[in-house]
A and B are shown apart, each in its own frame.
Chain A
Amino acid sequence: METSQSAWGAKARPQTAAGAARSGGRAVRWKEELAAYAFLAPSALLFAAFVFYPMAQSMYLSLHVTDPQGRIAQFVGLDNFASLFASPLFYSGLRVTGQFILYTVPTTILIGLMLAMLTHRALPGMRWFRFVFSLPVAISVGTAAVIWLLLFHPSVGMLNYFLGELGVAPIFWLSDPKWAMISVSILTVWMNLGFVYIVLLGGLNGIADDIFDSLSVDGAGPLRKYGQVVLPLLSPSLFFITIVSVIGSFQAFGQFHILTKGGPMNQTNVIVYQIYQDAFVNFRFGTGSAQALVLFAILLVLTIVQFVFVEKKVHYQ
């Protein structure tokens, strides 16, 4: 806590002309503090206006019913939360969100890990592969979803064309309740791969080269090399990317909005999409806020898990 003691610290600093420096020291300290606040003011004001105030406002809204303009109509206490926890749609939303996470996170990490392991050694031409595998980072949900919307198209889409070549009957990717979530997940895996790949590649590059070299000298097979030595060393990156991916999947919105709009039969109606519909389609800001707060609680738990476990369980080099 060096900062809370800075008042003492300033006094303790070696001063030559003690008397003059003490009164001057106070003025200098004042100037320091003023400078600090001046430097911090822009960020602090923006955070106050667009993060902390809305945070409080969300809690306030969640206890009220509003009119479509967002003005408070009535105080309802915890009714918004009560009706939320009594609604089957909310639970189906949670279930669907869980399903989405289960489909996307392990797949993305596994593929990303494989690609990172294949490309992390400095071989000629690897830069191209790295660039190609990183590409999806630059692609937004909006454009990615539009591209895949065309690929998924039941009659003219390319995916069904390829399936047809293989003799498989066309799949209604986005309108079949059984397939819709899988389809959105495929797009999401494709989209997130770049980010996951970059993080894992960074992790692999952080492992000292001599470890790889000594393994090669030992004659360790690739399975033992990666499975027993590299994976444990990579666990901080793996853990980080897992938590970030889970949180990211929780918050995914664009692909649902563009591809399925929550349908068919609410099979892709994830929590975030429900919040959007509640607040910005039906203009029920109160229940929307209540849902957002529940989501926040879930995410907070995840983040805390990250902070606790990252210290204990994960192997640092």
Chain B
Amino acid sequence: MYPLLFTFLASFMTAEEAGRYPPPLFPEGLYLGNFRTALELAPIPRFLWNSFVMAGAVTLGQLVTCSMAAYAFAFVRFRGKAALFAAFLSTMMIPWEVTIIPNYLTIKTLGWMDSYPGLIVPFLASAFGVFLLRQFFLQLPKELFEAARIDGCGHARAFFRLVLPLGRPALATLAVYTFLNQWNSYLWPLLVTNREEMRTVQIGVTMLQWEEMMSWNLVLAGVSMVLLPSLLLLAFGLKQLVRGITAGAVKG
């Protein structure tokens, strides 16, 4: 807990206060200049925007692809279902180290370096998401679907009218989980972005540190700005997040 407190408190200190040794624990007043200087030093709003676009697009995309796949696995009969489901789940066991080099080369060949597609597209599908949603869909009352089918309701309509509205809690869980993961991702954005205006916050905040090692009140002001969105999300989405994590834990 202390490191966080330290971060937020120090980001309000003036340069003079921060330069004192031993550093004071509390700032003497709410000094906002650090934020302004940090904003001038690095294009933090731009970083935030990039992260937001990336995490938002991946989240939306995963909600679409995962809910569709989960619907098929939960409600549609077709040949090869078990095998396909196993293939989907097996992707969870392949670690990113194995796929990252070829994926990097793919993105490079496609000319997607330093672009939003390069940041977003490789993460649009998620086996974890499919699994999570399928489990939830299977718990929905079966009679509802029988009734809908007798009424001549096709899969497309059942999907949009029944499953998506009823699946909202699970979808919210997946959304919070995915957004936070993407917001915090480090290695992939590091690899596929080079130009400063395409960097995400996680990379940006470390750049701040290289430029301004000594005036750490500035660095911490930057860090605070980066942390704020994720903490807000946590405050509102903790319940969903916990549900997602424990769903992963009990799957056994």
Which A residues lie at the B interface, using CB under 8 A? 1, 3-4, 6-7, 9-10, 29, 32-33, 35-37, 39-40, 42-44, 46-47, 49-55, 57-58, 61, 69-70, 131-132, 134-135, 137-151, 153, 156, 158, 161, 164, 190, 195, 198-199, 201-203, 206, 236-237, 240-241, 247, 251, 253-254, 257-258, 272, 275-276, 279-280, 285, 288-289, 291-293, 295-296, 299-300, 303, 310
User: Is B241's beta carbon under 8 Å from chain A?
Assistant: yes
Q: Using known A-B contacts A47-B91, A58-B101, A303-B93, determine if residue A151 contacts B234 with beta carbons closer than 8 Å.
A: no
User: Is B69's beta carbon under 8 Å from chain A?
Assistant: yes
Q: Using known A-B contacts A35-B76, A131-B238, determine if residue A198 contacts B98 with beta carbons closer than 8 Å.
A: no
**Cβ A7 vs Cβ B184 within 8 A:** no
**Cβ B76 vs Cβ A32 within 8 A:** yes
User: Is B88's beta carbon under 8 Å from chain A?
Assistant: yes
30 contacts between A and B (CB under 8 A): A1-B82, A35-B76, A35-B155, A36-B72, A39-B69, A39-B159, A40-B69, A43-B66, A43-B69, A43-B130, A47-B88, A57-B102, A57-B105, A70-B108, A138-B227, A142-B184, A142-B203, A143-B223, A149-B209, A153-B216, A156-B214, A164-B22, A203-B249, A240-B252, A241-B249, A258-B206, A276-B187, A279-B100, A293-B98, A299-B93
Task: Select from chain A the residue with minimum beta-carbon distance to B107.
Answer: A50
**Cβ B77 vs Cβ A43 within 8 A:** no
Cβ-defined partner of A55 (8 Å) among B4, B98, B108, B245: B98
Q: What 6 A-B pairs come out closest when comparing CB atoms? A: A140-B184, A142-B202, A202-B246, A3-B81, A54-B102, A46-B125
**Cβ B249 vs Cβ A240 within 8 A:** yes
Main secondary structure of the interface of A (DSSP, over half): helix
Residues 207-230 of B at the A interface (beta carbon under 8 Å): 208-209, 214, 216, 219-220, 223, 226-227, 230
**Cβ A141 vs Cβ B186 within 8 A:** yes
**Cβ A140 vs Cβ B202 within 8 A:** yes
Q: How far is the CB of B1 from chain A (nearest CB, A)?
A: 6
**Cβ B95 vs Cβ A46 within 8 A:** no
User: How many Å lie between the Cα of A231 and that of B193 in the bound state?
Assistant: 46
Query: Which residues in A have their C-beta under 8 angstroms from that of B135?
Result: none
Count of residues in B whose CB is under 8 Å from the partner chain: 87
User: How many Å lie between the Cα of A39 and that of B64 in the bound state?
Assistant: 10
User: How many Å lie between the Cα of A134 and that of B241 in the bound state?
Assistant: 10
